[in-house]
């Protein structure tokens, strides 16, 4: 079985095993708030929390993730539909990495909080 150009299942003398992923591709929507890391946002943490939940509901209802990222994300990646490209373990903050690596391609996370604010993450590869 091949996944993203790499073999995800490896045959060994004792059987098959799942090779751990070394990298993933993801997009995200970041909502910063007053006091979050590197933030110039003026919204409160409570306002950001409410807005990210509203955005998540739109995604769950079928809205286009990339369009929502362009409209709402405080990250410069929002201009590219939230695309962060391919990244490996140790390149993102732990909570973000854990969520991204635990999802299947096409999945959208629940709200993930980091020092930078609230994220919705979509695994794209």
Is residue 98 domain-resident? yes
Q: Buried b vs exposed e over 25-64: b needs ≥16 C-beta within 10 Å?
A: bbbbbbbbbeebeebebebebeebbebbeebbeebeeeee
pLDDT in tens, the chain (125 residues): 334 444 444 455 555 555 556 899 999 999 999 999 999 899 999 999 999 999 999 999 999 999 999 999 999 999 999 999 999 999 999 999 999 999 999 999 999 999 999 999 999 99
Whether 86 is covered by a domain: the verdict is yes
**Structural domain boundaries enclosing 103:** 23-123
Distances (CA, A) of 30 to 22, 77, 104: 24, 9, 20
Q: What is the pLDDT of residue 65?
A: 99
Considering its fold, how many domains does the chain have in total?
1
Do the domain assignments include residue 11? no
Q: Is residue 106 part of a domain?
A: yes
Spatial separation of the C-alpha atoms in residues 7 and 16, rounded to whole Å: 12
On whether the CB atoms of residues 107 and 27 are closer than 8 A, the answer is no
CATH number of the domain that residue 71 is part of: 3.10.50.40
Query: In this predicted structure, what is the pLDDT of residue 5?
Result: 44
User: Does 7 fall in a domain?
Assistant: no
Whole-number pLDDT of residue 2: 39
- Give the HSE-up count for residue 88: Cα atoms under 13 Å, Cβ half-sphere: 2
115 lies in some domain: yes
Tell me if 27 is assigned to some domain.
yes
């Amino acid at each position: 079985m091949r996944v993203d150009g790499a073999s995800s299942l490896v045959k060994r003398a004792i059987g098959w095993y799942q090779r751990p992923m070394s990298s993933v591709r993801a997009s995200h929507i970041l909502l910063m708030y007053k006091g979050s890391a590197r933030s110039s946002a003026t919204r409160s943490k409570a306002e950001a929390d409410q807005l990210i939940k509203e955005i998540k509901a739109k995604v769950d209802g079928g809205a286009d993730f990339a369009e929502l990222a362009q409209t709402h994300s405080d990250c410069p990646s929002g201009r590219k539909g939230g695309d962060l490209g391919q990244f490996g373990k140790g390149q993102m903050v732990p909570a973000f990495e854990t969520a991204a690596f635990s999802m299947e391609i096409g999945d959208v996370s629940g709200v993930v909080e980091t020092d930078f604010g609230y994220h919705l993450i979509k695994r794209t590869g």
